Amino acid sequence: VLGLKWRRARLGGANRALPRRRGANAPLAGVRLPGRLVPRVSGLVVRVGPMSDASIFRYDTGRGSLLTALTVTKTVVPNVLSVPEFWIFLLFHLAVFASYRSGAVSDQAVEKTEDWGLDWEDIRVVTAITTLFEVFYTNTCYARYNTLYKNTRSMLADAANYSYMLRVFVSENAPRHARLASRYLMGGVLLHFFDLKNMHTRADLQELTKLGLVTEAELSTLLGNRKSERPAVMLQWALMVSRHAAVAVDDKGAALTMTNLMVKIRTQQQEAVDVLALPVPFQYFHLLSSMIIINLALWAYAMALTQSWFAPVVYVFCSGTFIGMLNLASQLSDPFGDDAVDFDTQGWVSDAFALIVELTEAQYPGGPGGLEMSLHNEQPLPRTFSVGLIPGAGSTPEPPRAPGRGRSSPFRAMASPQAPRADDEAVRSALLANCARDCAGTRYCPRSCA
C-alpha cells in the first residue's frame, strides 16, 4: 500500500521537478513525500503509484435496505464467489437436488430413520455451535480493527503535535534543528508502516533515500540495526536533535514535553506491532473452519432433499453468509493491506507528512513583523455571533432581544471605554449594521442607531 514510484502531474502549466534536498538542514518543502498530495512546490502535485484501493468506504445509510442489499462493489460478495468451497458444495447441492427431483433418490431412502436420512434437529445443534464460534471470532477481529485504527490515528496525530512543539519552541532560534528533527520523525513513522507491511529489504529502505528522508550514511546505520529497531532508532535521532536545540536555547520544559510526546509515539507504534503479533490462536481458527465446512456439507445435502425450486436459492444465501462472515473477519484482523476494509494508510501518511512539513516551514501571516502588526490592529470581539453549520442553509440570524435582557446593548458597547473610536469608519459601519439587525422587527428601537 505504500508503493513509492514517483509520478509528476502538471498543474497550472508548471512542469518543473521538485528541488532536491541538498543537505540535512535544507527546507522541508523540497522533501518528496509518499502520498497523494504534498505541499505545493513549483506548481506541482506529486503522486505515488501504484495507488491502493484500500480505504474506509463511506456509505449512505439513507439509501434504504433494498439498494444497499443490491450493492456488489466494496462488499464480501466478490470474495465469497472466489472461494473454492463455495462452488464445491454448491455443485454437490445441485447434484443431490437434481437426483432427488428426477427420482434417482427415493423418498423412502432419505427418511431420517433410514440409512441416507438426516434429522434437521441434529443439523440445528451443529449450526448453533458454529454460529456462536463465528460471532465470537468476528467480534474479536473487529475489536482488533478498532484498536489498530485508534492507535494508528493517535500516533499520526501525536507526530503532528510534535511538529507543533518543534515550530513553537525550536524553529525560531534553531530552524535547522527543527527541520532535521522533522525529517527523522517522518522517517520513523514511515519505517513503522514498513515494519507492519513486512518491508525490510534494502530496496524497500532505499526508498527513504529517494524521498529525501535519510542520507546514504544514515541508511547504512539503519541497515545495521535489527528490523524491529529501525523505527525506534529514527525517532531517537529526532528526539536527540530536539533536545540539543532545547538545551541550546535553555528551555528544559520544552525538552521534557517533547520527550514525553516522543515516548508516547514510540509506545503507540509498539502497541500496534504487539496487537498484530497476537492473532486469534490457530487452533480456534482451525476449529471454526472445520465447523463451517461441516455445516456447508450438511446444508448442501439436507436442503437438496425437497421438491421446491427455492432450495438452491436458500442454500446460496446461507452458505454465502457463513463464508462471507469468516472472510470479512479475517480481513478485519489485519487492516494494513489492500482489502476493501483496510485502512487508507497511503492517504493518512500523506496527510500527516504534508501537515508536518507545513507546520515546520510555515510563517506567521505578514512575515516577521506580522504578529506586531496584528496586535496593533486588533479590535474588540463582537458581542454576538450567528454561525450557520448546516450546509447550504447559511447563517441564521439570532432572534432580537431588547437591550438589558440576556446580553449587553450595542449602545452600551459604543459608550464603553473599551469600544473603538467613533471616527473609525470601518468600526462605525460594523456597529451600525449590528444595531440595525438587533432593532429590526421589534417594538423597541432607538430613534437613531447613529
For residues 345 and 302, what is the distance between their CA atoms, to the nearest angstrom? Answer: 45
For residues 75 and 324, what is the distance between their CA atoms, to the nearest angstrom? Answer: 9
Q: What angle do CA 413, 419, 420 make, to 5 degrees?
A: 135
Instruction: Tell how far CA 222 is from the center of its chain.
Output: 28
Which of 141, 154, 86, 62 lies closest to 341, judged by CA? 141
Helix (H, G, I), strand (E, B) or coil at 44: strand
| CA-to-CA separations, 292 to 66, 120, 299, 317, in angstroms, rounded | 28, 17, 10, 14
- Calculate Rg over the CA atoms of the chain: 32
How many Cβ atoms sit within 10 Å of the Cβ of residue 284? 14
Helix-helix angle 216-223:230-248, to 10 degrees = 130
Count CA atoms closer than 13 A to 185's CA, side-chain side. Answer: 37
| Torsion angles phi and psi, residue 14, rounded to 5 | -80, 140
C-alpha cell at 377: 490592529
Check residue 40 and give its pLDDT: 32
Task: Using CB atoms within 10 Å of the CB of residue 234, give its burial: 0 to 12 exposed, 13 to 18 middle, 19+ buried.
Answer: buried
**How would you write the pLDDT of the chain (450 residues) with one tens digit per residue?**
233 333 333 233 333 333 333 333 344 544 444 433 333 322 223 233 334 444 567 778 888 888 888 888 888 899 999 999 999 999 999 999 998 888 787 777 677 666 677 778 888 999 999 999 999 999 999 999 999 999 999 999 999 999 988 888 888 888 888 899 999 999 999 999 999 988 888 888 888 888 889 999 999 999 988 988 999 999 999 999 988 887 766 777 788 888 899 999 999 999 999 999 999 999 999 999 999 999 999 999 999 888 889 999 999 999 999 999 999 999 999 999 888 888 988 889 999 999 999 988 888 887 777 788 888 888 888 877 777 666 665 555 555 554 444 444 443 433 344 444 444 566 667 666 766 665 555 444 544 455
- Please provide the distance, in angstroms rounded to a whole number, between the alpha carbons at the two ends of the chain: 64
